[in-house]
A = this chain, B = another copy of it.
Amino acid sequence: MKCKRCRKTAAVALPSHHAAFCPECFLVFFERQVAAAIKTFQMCSRDDRILVAVSGGKDSLALAWQLQRLNLNVSALHLDLGIADSSTVARAHTESMCRQFGIDLHVVEFADLKMAIPDVKARIKRPICSVCGRLKRHVFNRYALENGFDVLATGHNLDDETARLLSNTLRWDTDYLAGQSPSLPGDPGFARKIKPLCQLTEYETAALCFLAGLNYGHQPCPYSPGATFTRYKILLNNLEDDQPGRKRSFYSQYLRQARPVFERLREDRSTPAIAPCQGCGSPTTAGLCSVCRIREAMDLEPLTIIPSSKSKTPCP
């Protein structure tokens, strides 16, 4: 198998692209895919201050590394969830990578918010994965807004996006089908959000990490068997084996053909009024936002500001 670009021996085969690449050319391919997604979906410009949500897993590390290599103005935000082992490993990988590649790293410790996930789990009798996800989205969004970032970038890849799309489609949830996008414009109270890896598969991101020497965290979260969307990912991978390119076309055709239709439908419907949360000021359709309600149930005051702990992990 020869590299499609330089004819050297290939290391990565990509049937969905009818291509194979040697290690050097694969890095070029990956960079071009990210640059193409940024351009196609008008994600960001050279002037934007970009905050990358970095968990320590392969996707977010690859994303921060790649955006940095594209000479974009990148900072990373890591949320230390305070989970024994898992959070320690994730944070160590994040810090190590950011140090190695000179990426400006911010850390928010959930323990500082009195919301280390084991404490939340002990107090809140709801599925912890959904509560944790809600808290993380809230903190990422507010941190970006409160610290003057123009864009929040997340490492969702093509497998994440298609699994979510399949889940939304199997339920025909027309609201979610109107909203899923690799590039969501900012609104008052909502940071602009982008997913520059949306056209790259999990396998391609893993290959990038391996070939670029990015060490990512492997320690699974003790609360999650990693089941979210896993079944849909397996299912889509089986389809992809049979029909190379199926995942990409499912997603791209959705964005081109179906999403605009569901978006118009949503615009035609009256939506519940959004107002600032009486606790923290974040946009909400209820009087008190869901995070303030979680804090209330834990006898905590609303979060008036997300404390920045940038100084804890200075960039060398």
> Which A residues are closer than 8 A to B by beta carbons?
169-172, 174, 231, 235, 238-239, 242, 246, 249-250, 253-254, 256-258, 261-262, 265
Q: Is B174 touching A261 in the complex (CB atoms < 8 A)?
A: yes
Residues of chain B contacted by A250 (CB below 8 angstroms): 170-172
In the complex formed, the residue of B with least CB distance to A260 is B265
Cβ 8 A contact of A170, one of B171, B172, B246, B261: B246
For A256, what are the chain B residues with a Cβ–Cβ distance below 8 Å?
172
A261 to B266, CA, bound (A): 11
Q: Which residue of B174, B239, B261, B262 contacts A235 across the interface (Cβ within 8 Å)?
A: B239
Contact pick for A171, options B169, B242, B249, B261, CB 8 Å: B249
Q: How many copies does the complex hold?
A: 2
Neighbouring B residues of A231 by C-beta, 8 Å: 239, 242
Once the chains bind, are B235 and A171 in contact (CB under 8 Å)? no
**Which interface residue of A171, A242, A258 has the most chain B CB atoms within 10 A?**
A258
Rounded to whole angstroms, the CA-CA distance of A150 and B258 in the bound complex is 35
Contacting residues, chain B, for A253 (C-beta < 8 A): 171-172
Smallest Cβ-Cβ distance to A257: which chain B residue: B172
Q: How far is the CA of A169 from the CA of B171 in the complex (A)?
A: 12
Complex partner residue of A258 from B172, B249, B257, CB under 8 angstroms: B172
A255 nearest CB across to chain B (Å):
9
CA distance A160 to B295 in the complex (A): 49
Q: Which of B171, B257, B265 contacts A174 (CB 8 A)?
A: B257
Show 25 A/B contacts (Cβ-Cβ < 8 Å), sorted by A.
A169-B169, A170-B239, A170-B246, A170-B249, A170-B250, A171-B249, A171-B250, A171-B253, A172-B250, A172-B253, A172-B254, A172-B256, A172-B257, A172-B258, A174-B257, A174-B258, A174-B261, A231-B239, A231-B242, A235-B235, A235-B238, A235-B239, A261-B261, A261-B262, A261-B265
Nearest CB in chain B: distance from A164 CB, A: 14
A153 to chain B minimum Cβ distance, whole angstroms, is: 26
Min CB distance, A177 to chain B, in Å? Answer: 8
Complex CA–CA separation, A253 to B175 (angstroms): 13
